Structure 1
Amino acid sequence: MLREFREFAMKGNVVDLAVGVIIGAAFGAIVTSLVGDVIMPIIGAATGGLDFSNYFTPLSSKVTAANLADAKKQGAVLAWGNFLTLTINFIIIAFVLFLVIRAMNKLKRKDEAEPAAPPKPSAEVELLTEIRDLLKKS
């Protein structure tokens, strides 16, 4: 059973998938930082200092807090600002993945367009070609 598991774990697809998940998690953290630390502050500055992450609509009359964390402690809230931030995050990730896949497709098409050099014939094939050419001359 251990041997079978080892064979399964060492298959190329499993290792490739694991690498993809790890890189995806790291890429997700970078994009989250890009959205939260760069893009949203710029949008906030352009809109007069608005911070979308703290925008919410109380669903209970008990909620009187000014920020989202305290409002969630007081009762049910609709955290639409956080949803907006995550939606922007998703759009950025989807756009970056589109650009990466587009670049990879261009490289693939470029590789397919360039014809590969024919392999050098073996010594036997070269000798047989010479014999054939000599027989044609005589």
Structure 2
Amino acid sequence: MAMLEDFKRFAMKGSMIDLAVGVIIGAAFSKIVDSLVADIIMPPISLLIGGLDFSNYYIPLNHQAYALPLAEAKKAGAVFAYGNFLTVLLNFVILAFIIFQMVRLVSRVRARAAAQPEPAGPAEEILLLREIRDSLRK
């Protein structure tokens, strides 16, 4: 029972909930970045280097025919699928850069909030009026 209570306290901490929300949003955002890379960035790059589908670039390691699509080449034997790896690597770099920018922005906002002086409290006139009020009550 104690372990269950400890787990409940751990799971209900604010930071744990924030982490769960971050993971869910990150997964959804990852799909956006995947689409950006696969549908917007990689087609012009593959067009410049002479191919139509960058993720199908590979080096056959088992003497397969090089003209096969990647899926068929994998069925025929081992392949070095560098095009697919480069696509995934580009996804990671873009995602990491965007997350870095978001963390940087949050850090700046927190630094500005910490740099702003907190209100010093009530003005002198208010304090004086409170003293007068309190002395009149006595």
Specify if TM > 0.5: yes
1-side partners of 2:115 and 2:17: how far apart? 30
Give TM-score, length-normalised by structure 1: 0.78
Partner of 2:82: 80
Quote how far apart the aligned CAs of 1:16 are: 1.6
SS of residue matched to 1:19: helix
Distance 1:11 1:108, change over 3 A: closer
Residue number in structure 2 paired with 1:56: 58
SS in 2 for 1:66: coil
Pick closer, same or farther for the CA change 1:105–1:11 going to 2, 3 Å: closer
Structure 1 residue runs of 4+, over 4 Å off?
none
RMSD over aligned CA atoms reads: 2.4
Shift of 1:82: 0.5
Aligned to 2:18: 16
Task: Kindly indicate whether the alpha-carbon contact (under 8 Å) linking 2:43 and 2:54 is maintained by their aligned counterparts in 1.
Answer: no
Structure 2 residue aligned with 1:44: 46
Change (3 A) 1:72 1:91: same
Counterpart check, 1:116 vs 2:118: yes
Structure 1 position 48, deviation (Å): 3.9
The Cα of 1:24 is off from its aligned counterpart by: 1.3
Aligned-residue offset at 1:4: 4.4
Residues 108 and 8 of structure 1: is their aligned pair in 2 closer, same or farther, counting only changes over 3 Å?
closer
Per-residue deviation, 1:3:
4.5
| Identity, % of aligned positions | 51
**Structure 1 unaligned spans of 5+:** 132-138
1:13, CA displacement in angstroms?
A: 2.3
Matched residue count = 127
